[in-house]
Structure 1
């Protein structure tokens, strides 16, 4: 279990310390801005592969509803991501009991 927890934690702490060190520099701002779409595409690809592997029955429509509502909360209503994440978690607790 520690083998699954320690390496990602060390990587995240290392990346966070690098980001803090260079956060005020223009190249870092552009790097982060460029990485955002790439991360979004990677998440979409992984989601697509999981859906294809599990078939149509693997789709939880309540989860899709939460994702769509979260997207609109972020993009249309400009609600900060941390509040959307907390709200989605609370809604998920009630929908997936």
Structure 2
């Protein structure tokens, strides 16, 4: 499906606005998926501990992903982001030469 160009009352093209909105939604979706993947791993860890503590199979299976799982996942993701940003700052590499000849 291709986005349709639309104009607002002032004649401004809304195609770019629509593209930016779709990009923002895609970014939110990707971010949410990453957070939920980390939170799911925390749930699995908790389930293993429950099994070791003698919880029933039903109780283990019905253990949900909690707000705390999500909170920890967000903290882990933020910590990873900070580490990557710090590493990039250490590199202090000028990548502008890589785009030469690409137009």
Superposition TM-score tier, normalisation by shorter sequence:
0.3 to 0.5
TM-score under structure 1 length normalisation: 0.33
Considering only CA atoms, is the larger Rg found in Structure 1 or Structure 2? Answer: 2
Tell me which protein shows more helix as a share of its residues: 1
> Which structure is richer in relative contact order (CA contacts within 8 A, separation 6 or more)?
2
